[in-house]
Structures are given as C-alpha cells and as structure tokens.
Amino acid sequence: MSDNTINNSNRELTPLLQMKGLRIEGLSDNGWQEIVCGIDLELKRGEILGLIGESGAGKSTIGLAAMGYARDGCRFTEGDIIFDGIELRTAPEEEKRKLRGTRISYVAQSAAAAFNPAHRLLDQFVEGPVDHQILSRIDAKEKGRALYRSLDLPDPENIGDRWPHQVSGGQLQRMMVAMAMSCEPDMIIFDEPTTALDVTTQIEVLKTIKEIVIDRNVAAIYVTHDLAVVAQMADHLMVLRHGKLVEVNSTGQILKAPKQEYTRDLLKARNRDEKMPAPTPNPQTLLSIDSVTAGYGKGPDVLQDVSIMVERGQTVAVVGESGSGKSTLARVITGLLPTRSGGVSFEEELLPPALNQRQKQQLQKVQMIYQLPDVALNPRQRVRDVIGRPLSFYLGLKGKEKENRIKELLRQIELPESYIDRLPNELSGGEKQRICIARALAAKPELIVCDEVTSALDSIVAKAILNLLQRLQNELGLTYIFISHDLDTVASIADQVVVLYAGRIAEQGPKSAVFQPPFHPYTRLLLSSVPEMRQGWLEETLATRETQAGIAHEVKITEQGCPFVERCPVSIEDVCVHNRPPIQTTVSSGHAFACQHSAKVLLEESEQ
C-alpha cells in the first residue's frame, strides 16, 4: 500500500510533460533556420498552459512538438521532450504512434478541414479507440454518444450518424473536442480551436473545452494569439515571440502585472483607443441603400428590406455573425450582386445594379479592401503593378508621374519606397494589407468598403492597420463601410453601427446609442460575447440570460416573424414567431431597432 502512495504522490509531483532547451529548425529559402530557440516548459496533470504569441512565434510548432511531432520541413536539433518518463525525441516512431490519439490528442483550428467529409461523424470518432484496440466498435460508439450527451450536443443519440457538413461550425468543433477525448488521453493540445469562429460560437466551444479539461482532470496546452480567450482557460501563460520565451507566469500575474514590454503591447492591443466622433459640420449623404432585397441564384433573400444611409466622412460599421448577410451587403454596394428590389444611390444618383453597367467613374469612387490580403493580391504582380494599375486605368498617369504617385502612396501607408519592386510573397501579412489599402487609395475613391480587413491579422498588426485607416480618413476625408464580426474593432473605429441578423437590420444608429446601453437582444448577445481581458469572464457570461438563450444556434433566414426568436430571452410567445417586429425608435437621433418590445421595456428587462 505504501508503495502505491509513493507512486501516486510521485505522479502528482513530477510534471506530465517536460521540455528542456528545445530547439527546432525549419527549412526556408535560405536553408535551415531556427524557429524555436531553446524553450523550457513544464505541464502538470490537470493543468492548462496557454501558449500565446503572434504568427511566427513558434507556438503551434511547440504544440506539435509536445506530441513528438515535427512538421514536414521542420526538425528537432536539440533538447528533450519528456512525456510521462518517455523521451519523445528519440522514441521510435511506433511508440510515438501508440501514444498519439490514446494518451495525447490534438484539436486543430479548423474542424471543417480536420474531419473527413466522406465519413459519418461517429465513424470517425471510433477510429482512435478501435485502431488502438482500446474499445470494441460497439463500445466506442456507445462512448461517443455518452460524450455527445455530456457535451450537450443536440440529439446526442443520432447526431453521430450525420455527415460533417450537416452540423454547424461550432458543433463540429465541439465534436472534435469529443473525438480528442475518445481514448481518455492524459493531455490534449488545442491549436487555436476558436480562432475562425464568431464570438457567440466561440463561447459555445470554450464552454465545452473547459468542461472537458476540468471535469476529467486532463492536462492541456492551449495555443492561441488571443490573450482574452486564453485568460479564460489557462492556469499559466507562456508569451512567445520569434521562437523565444518572452515571459512565463500565472495567468493572473500576466494580466495584472506584465513584466515585459512585449506582453504589455499584447495587452494594449485589445484595449483600443476609442475614436472621437468625426466632426460633421453639414451632414451630406454619400451613399444610401434603399430597402434592398438580394439573394443568390434561386435561393432565399439573403438581404431583406435593408436601408442604410452613409454620411460623407463617417465610418459605418456593419456587424453580425456569419450568415447574417454582411458580405452580401458589400457585394450589393459594389455591384457584384445585383439587387432583387430596392436600389443603391451614390451622391444622390442611382447606381445601376450590375457591375458591368456601371460607369468607370462610378466604379472609381467606390473601392474595396478584402479580408485576406493573401488572395487579394496577385502573387505574380509587383507592388509597382498592383498600385500602378488603378493610377493608369482611372487617372491615366504614365511614366515618371505614375512612379512618383506610387511612391507617395507607399509613404502614405507607411512603407518604404524600396518596396516598389517587391512581390507579395516578400511581404508580411500586415504589409500586404497596407498594399491593398494603397491600391484602393490609388483610385482616389470617396468610399471604401472594408470587408473584415483586420480579422486575419495578429492583434498588434491589426491595431496598426486600424490606426492607419483612421489617419487616412482624417487626412483625406474618406468614408468607410466597415464590415466586421469583431465588436472590439467596431467600437474603436465606427461612428455609426448597423447590426444585421439573418439579412435584416436588427438595430442601427450612432455607436453610443447602439452600444451604451444595447437595446436589441441580439446586440446585447453580441456585446456580452466579446471576451474580456480578465479571469472569470467566461463563467459570468455563461450565467447570463442572453448567453444561455443565444449561444449554440445557427443564423436562420425566416420568411415571417422575427428571425431572432429562437435565441431571444425576451421573446413573446406566438407574437414573435408570426409577426414582423415593428421599428422602434429612441431619443437618440437616427437610432432604431426592430423588436416587439419598446426601448423602455427592453431597458427595464436588461436591468433585471
């Protein structure tokens, strides 16, 4: 008996995973380069360690190294990885194979890419335990259903018989967490499991992960670039940069008293400077969208009766979850998607609905910046051609004049003139996005539609891009339509906010009127879902009525009634399902929302 106790206490004391002086090299154009430079790491049973840093910090590489795995084009050069007494660096492949999936498992960023679309979900769940001969196929399936049940997935008995494309993104990510648990592992690696998700879906997944890890006393490594998210999950944080350790400490300490400058920058990147409302001496409507209805092919109306006024020199933010119709709105404005009814007027002149009917001059005035600068820049065109083309196309500039203007634009977006001959793959993500901004500016536009322009970027880079956009607006008097699902970003840059839900406007008005306090239950749900940079936020949010009613639902377009009814904590039985919500106004000018309840009632409700 005493032997057992000693063994047990030893098990508690010795870390489950230990890395000592780990160095990993990656193959680049210039030969092997160190991407992880001497990392020490310890993880005890039941502990969650957050690895945080920007892209290129080496956090995913370290995450994979915890399984003894180096990606193609990467190799271990020095150091030890010891998992429960086993040296993984030197362990034979067969032994590592046995560990993976059974004692260590992995949850990837994109569940949609990690599931095989040609197999049913439960069949993929049982692969691990059956292949490793831990459970029989029948037992494994039973276990899968039990896990689905404990994770509160809808219809746990049958959901496993569905195909991956038949469940929502959040559900799929939760199914992957369940799959990671199939062999009761000792350790799970989470690699940015919520990065691609909406804030509301993110909460749903975070809740699942937290339950799994805490209830089952599993050790976990949580890799992410989002400090606010990891603050909800991790006991300890390791801040990484360029493969080196910046700072390691308990989560509370890092949030309260960061020791390093870089950590402080990361913390600051979330707390953005509030934008001062732009002074508009004589408001002038630049773009007006009048009861636009639009859809794709023979499908349903993805936008229904949407009307928005955009004033010159202002920033109008359009927010909503995926499926709410934000990007469709951008396509309608630019003419990529002709409307079914209603119209878009620019400077009081009705624009032809389809792109190919619009005049060159009309096209010139409305420019667009995309979410992914990687695919918005032709990889075969140099910066000179990318920025130069709109100059010669719209303004007829040539030779020296054009060259000078390109250089001037490069200065405006804070890049050196020497970048003029670079190809996109010689630029970082943030620099690429700057080139996209310069391309839009080159046309001398009045209005720029920004479609999620910062959501693919690291927080510090994103902040710099937002500041640049802000500065350009002040200098050039630009008008922005800013599409985003990130309310944090919106709060910092917008003058006006439009909240879209299922193709209909839920609420719109000046930023302060929409956000402080939020009236429409959907706005409230969105706001309460934005992670805050403090511990315990997740639990508090999960306890609120909005979250309990609102998360784990998909956006559904409805023909009648209020589309939000299923997720609404204050819906009125029978009424909301059948009747379109009336437009309610408040004392703030231009503020309106669509709900059966009046502003007064909603305000009282929210105070309860």
Cβ-contact 58, 36 below 8 angstroms:
yes
What's the rounded Cα separation, in Å, for the pair 557 and 563? 6
Residues 6+ apart with CB under 8 A from 377: 386, 424, 432, 435, 436
| One of 249, 345, 381, 606 touching another protein (CB under 8 A) | 381
The pair phi, psi for residue 356, each rounded to 5°, is -75, -5
Per DSSP bridges, beta strands 31-43 and 17-28 are antiparallel
Shortest Cβ 54–another protein spacing (Å): 20
Which tokens belong to 120?
Answer: 């049913």
572 is a site residue for another protein (CB under 8 A): no
377 is a site residue for another protein (CB under 8 A): yes
What's the rounded Cα separation, in Å, for the pair 215 and 507? 40
Shortest Cβ 28–another protein spacing (Å): 8
Question: For another protein, which stretch binds (CB under 8 A), given 189-197, 371-379, 413-421, 569-577?
Answer: 371-379
What's the rounded Cα separation, in Å, for the pair 74 and 285? 55
372 is a site residue for another protein (CB under 8 A): yes
- Residues of span 451-490 touching another protein by CB under 8 A: none
Cβ-contact 510, 591 below 8 angstroms:
yes
Q: What Rg, from alpha-carbon coordinates, does the chain have? A: 26
Shortest Cβ 569–another protein spacing (Å): 38
Shortest Cβ 312–another protein spacing (Å): 21
| One of 171, 327, 334, 547 touching another protein (CB under 8 A) | 334
Site track for another protein across 168-207, x = CB under 8 A: ----------------------------------------
Beta strands in 278-334 (DSSP E): 285-295, 301-311, 315-319
363 is a site residue for another protein (CB under 8 A): yes
Q: How far is CA 507 from the centre of its chain?
A: 22
Within 10 A of 425 (CB to CB), how many other CB atoms are there?
Answer: 10
What's the rounded Cα separation, in Å, for the pair 331 and 366? 12
What's the rounded Cα separation, in Å, for the pair 344 and 356? 15
Identity of the residue, 218 or 481, whose beta carbon is nearer to another protein in the bound complex: 481
Identity of the residue, 373 or 521, whose beta carbon is nearer to another protein in the bound complex: 373
Identity of the residue, 428 or 467, whose beta carbon is nearer to another protein in the bound complex: 428
Identity of the residue, 362 or 467, whose beta carbon is nearer to another protein in the bound complex: 362
Three-point CA angle 524, 527, 532, nearest 5° = 140
| One of 326, 439, 520, 591 touching another protein (CB under 8 A) | 439
Identity of the residue, 368 or 576, whose beta carbon is nearer to another protein in the bound complex: 368
- Residues of span 12-71 touching another protein by CB under 8 A: 29
| One of 36, 39, 368, 592 touching another protein (CB under 8 A) | 368
| One of 157, 360, 559, 607 touching another protein (CB under 8 A) | 360
| One of 6, 146, 214, 336 touching another protein (CB under 8 A) | 336
**What b-and-e string marks burial along 168-198, b requiring 16 or more CB atoms within 10 Å of the CB?**
bbbbbbbbbbbbbbbbebbbbbbbbbbbbbb
| One of 165, 298, 380, 400 touching another protein (CB under 8 A) | 380
Strand-pair partners of 496 = 316, 510
Question: For another protein, which stretch binds (CB under 8 A), given 203-211, 220-228, 389-397, 597-605?
Answer: 389-397
Cβ-contact 122, 161 below 8 angstroms:
yes
370 is a site residue for another protein (CB under 8 A): yes
Element (H, E) at 97: helix 93-99
Which tokens belong to 312?
Answer: 């010159």
Shortest Cβ 450–another protein spacing (Å): 13
Identity of the residue, 188 or 456, whose beta carbon is nearer to another protein in the bound complex: 456
Question: For another protein, which stretch binds (CB under 8 A), given 251-259, 360-368, 460-468, 566-574?
Answer: 360-368
Identity of the residue, 381 or 467, whose beta carbon is nearer to another protein in the bound complex: 381
Site track for another protein across 393-432, x = CB under 8 A: xx------------------------------x-------
Shortest Cβ 57–another protein spacing (Å): 20
Q: In Å, what is the CA distance from 393 to each residue of 346, 364, 402, 439?
A: 21, 10, 11, 12
Given the rule CB under 8 A, which residues bind another protein? 29, 334-336, 355, 358, 360, 363, 367-368, 370, 372, 375-381, 389-390, 393-394, 425, 439, 443
